[in-house]
Each structure stands twice: as structure tokens, then as C-alpha cells.
Structure 1
Amino acid sequence: MPSSRATPEPRPGDDRSTDLIRWAAFSCFLVPVVLLWYGSSLAGAAGTALGLAAVTAACRVLLRRSERCAARLLDEEDAPQTHPRGRHQRTGPGSHRGGRHSGGNSPVG
């Protein structure tokens, strides 16, 4: 059964996160220029540029991480659902431990 979410086919050059990062980098250049134009100090404009660059870099890292996690979740959704049993989740004889025993260890005869 196909997924209920329709995902458009990715086209070359249609990466929205890359466009977002490009606009953020452009603003890292544009904002200090505007600050200098309106009479701010060079040190203040440089500090603003560095701060914007740091925020842009952090956002880029978080955005890429989010994309990887979303892609992993979509891959897991499409994978067949298997439930591997760990060491403490045994099936078969001996899986029902605890409770009263009816003397199963006593010799027959």
C-alpha cells in the first residue's frame, strides 16, 4: 500500500534547504553593508557579520541533520516491519518464566 503522504519527485537544483542557506549567506553580506551605509562602526558591522555567519552555520548543521533523520524515517517506513527479538525477549519453551512450577524438575517414576 503506498504511503498516504505524496512526496514530489526531487528535481535537480530544487533543493530548498540549499536556497535557504544561500539567502542566509547573502544576508551575512548585505546586513553589514547596510549597517555601514547608515553610519554604524566598522567593528559593529564586522561583529554583526560574524554573528550572522555563526547562526547561519548552526542552522545549516541542524537543517542537514533534520533532513538525514527524515530520510532515515522514510526509509524505515518503507522497509518491511520485522521485530527482532533481543536477548530478553525469547520465544518458545522457557519463555514464560516465573510463577508456580508444578514440579517439572522432579524425576519421573
Structure 2
Amino acid sequence: MRWAVFCCVLVPVVLVVYGTSLGGAAGTALGLAAVTAACRVLLRRSENGLRAERVRPRTEPGHPRS
């Protein structure tokens, strides 16, 4: 997560240094933050699903566990 925050700050700074407007850099920062947040949510959901799958025993429908 630290790298994501670092990149969300670094990219707009580099854009401003290389001549992009402050508005464009701010828009880029917001876009990167939104993508980072969405990826984090999806990663958490995936991790929770995998964790739940490991806890839940696998049984076939109609077959009692032995």
C-alpha cells in the first residue's frame, strides 16, 4: 500500500516538473487514487473469498461427510 501512495504522489509531481498543468496533474492524481482504491477493494474481496474457501470443507451435494 505504501508504494501505491508513493506513486499517486510521485506521478503528478513528475508531470508538473515536465510541464503539465497543475489541473492535469491533479486529475491524474485523482484517477490514480481511484484506480488504487478499486484495486485494493477487489484484492480484499479476493483474499476474503480465498480465506472462506479454505475454511469451508468441500462436500458434494447429496453425499454425507465421512
Say whether the fold is shared (TM-score over 0.5).
yes
Shift, 1:26, TM fit: 1.0
1:27 aligns with 2:7: yes
Quick one: which of 16, 38, 46 aligns to 1:58? Answer: 38
> Quick check: which has more Rg, 1 or 2?
1
Task: Please state which structure has a larger fraction of its residues in helix.
Answer: 2
State the number of aligned residues: 62
Deviating above 2 A after TM superposition, structure 1's stretches of 4 or more consecutive aligned residues are 79-84
State the one-letter code of the partner of 2:50.
Answer: A
Q: Provide the rounded CA distance (Å) in 2 between the counterparts of 1:51 and 1:62.
A: 17
Which residues of structure 2 form unaligned runs of 5+? none
With the length of structure 2 as denominator, give the TM-score of the two structures.
Answer: 0.83
Let me know the Cα RMSD of the aligned residues: 1.7
Could you tell me which residue of structure 2 aligns to residue 71 of structure 1? 51
Q: Provide the rounded CA distance (Å) in 1 between the counterparts of 2:14 and 2:43.
A: 27
Q: Provide the rounded CA distance (Å) in 2 between the counterparts of 1:44 and 1:37.
A: 12
State the identity as a percent: 63
